[in-house]
Structure formats: structure tokens, C-alpha cells
Amino acid sequence: MRRAYLAAIVFSVVVGFSFLGVKTCIPVASTLQILVWRYNWAALLMGLFLLTGMVKIRLTGKPKKNLLLTAGFYIGFMIFQTIGLIFATSIESGIIFAIIPILSKLIAGVVLKENTGWVQNIFMVLSISALIVMILMGSTGVETNLVGVTILIISSISMAISNVYMRYVRQEYRPVEITAAICFMGAIAFNIAYLFSGDFLHYLEPLQHMEFVIATLYLGTACIVLSAQLMAFMLRHMPAVNATIFGNLSTAISIVAGVVILGEPLLFYHVLCTLLIIAGVVGVSMPDLKRNSRIERKVGKKL
């Protein structure tokens, strides 16, 4: 269990710094191009792991439907997120994605029969509320676009379902097998989308910019291969809500990183809300950590 929470912290940091990569890519490429090359690098790295024998996957005799649904909803999250951000603002996106833990809790309750106690629920609401307040305080106003908001809600639901399914298939598929499916299916999906976009003549154009190559390498290898592996590992060892709540910590890290690295202004509400988000994540996690500690002590006494 402790390794799962260590993986969650690494996941939060890796994903938290992804915004730097995206900001680097935006001036030289379209959103679809960024996604294409993110998944191209991810698929190439995973393919290299498989060819060299560093990673082995075994799919024979396993229900492919569950794996396809897990990876499909993960990729669907990115597709709907990309489309939604065309119509909606990043502020709306941040607020809507902050509720993914609640969606995961509801879906996990139905699919996995996982329930959280009232103390965990309070801390979950604390973390989500602090994140939403931080986002709203940093905005100059939110102009709601119904189409964009609807698509972003579908994106959040897709992410929540993917998270729950990652836990649902934990006895059938190892984290690396889920990661491989996400990498290859994503690369195929976004390359086909780019082919039909009518802009295929400019497919290689962004690679002329070294900053784009470096940024997409990070976004593909760290933010897809590594983060998907970490998320699958987390969901193998902890309840869906506990794993999903670390996504809010990633957003807080993104905001703090913007202050430290990009020199954006640090205000009092940044500090307060970040502390509340961390408190919420810790509060959600503590009951399971204590329960696991008690189990380890009992096992130790028997030995």
C-alpha cells in the first residue's frame, strides 16, 4: 500500500509539470498535432520495450473487451477534452475535471461496490472545493459555453470510467498491459484523426522545432507511458477514489510550478488552497493507510 501512495505522489508531480510541455508546444503546433506526437512517442517507447524484451505482455485467454474499454475510455477522455477546450475555457476545464473524484466514487460504488466513509467524503469535498476556489480566484471571469461544458463533462465521465475499469480489471491485466493498450490505441486513434483533418502535409512540420520534440517526448514518455503505468498500479492497490483524488494534487502542482518556474505571481490564496488540497488528499488516504498498517502489524506478530 505504501508503494501505491509513493506511486501516487510521483504521478502527481509528473502530471503536474505536463502543463509546461503543453505551453511549449502550443506556439508551434495545433492541439491535434501535439496529441499525435505525444502518442507517437509513447507508442514508440512501448514498442521498443516490447522488442527488446524489457516488457512482456500476455493477452492470450484474457477477455479483450475489458482491456479495450479501459484503454478506450482513457483515450476518449483526451479526445473529448481536446474538443471541449475548443469551445470552453481552461478555467471551465479545470473546474469540471476537479469533480472526477466524485464521479469515480459514484461509478465505483455501482461497479466495484466500493464505498467511502463520511470522514473521507468530507476530505474529498475539501480538496475539490479548494481546487475550484483556486481556479476561480485566478480567473478574470468565466463565460460559460454550454457545448464546451457538456463535452468536458463527457470527458470527465470517460476518465472516471477508465479509472474504475483499471481497478475492475486488476486481476486480469497487469499495469504494463493496460499501459501498452493505451499507448498503441491512442497512437492509432489520433493518427487516423489527423489523417482525416486534411492537414497531413504538415505532419512532420513541428519536428523542425527542437523545443517541440523535447516537450512532446516528455508528454509522451512521462505523461502517458509512466503516468498510465503509475495510475494502473495505484488502482491495482487502492480504491478508485483514493487514486483519483491525486489528480487534484497534480493541478495544484501545476499552479505552484507556474509560480516557481514561470515567475507567475504567488498570492495568499495559492498557498492556502494548495495546503487545503494536500490536506484533503491526505485525509482521503489516511483510513486506508491506517488499515494497512494494522494488517501489517498483525501479520508481523503471527510471523
Please give the pLDDT value at position 290.
Answer: 64
Over residues 242-273, the pLDDT tens digits come to: 898 898 888 788 877 777 777 767 778 878 88
DSSP assignment of the chain, as one string? -HHHHHHHHHHHHHHHTHHHHHHHHTTTS-HHHHHHHHHHHHHHHHHHHHHTTSS----TTS-HHHHHHHHHHHHHHHHHHHHHHHHS-HHHHHHHHTTHHHHHHHHHHHHT-----HHHHHHHHHHHHHHHHHHHHT-S-----HHHHHHHHHHHHHHHHHHHHHHHTTTTS-HHHHHHHHHHHHHHHHHHHHHHTT-GGGTTGGGG-HHHHHHHHIIIIIIIIIHHHHHHHHHHHS-HHHHHTHHHHHHHHHHHHHHHHH-PPP-HHHHHHHHHHHHHHHHHHHHHHHHHHHHHHHHHHH-
pLDDT of 102 higher than 60:
yes
For the chain, give the percent of residues with pLDDT over 90. 40
Domain borders along the chain are: 2-302
| pTM over cut 0.75 | yes
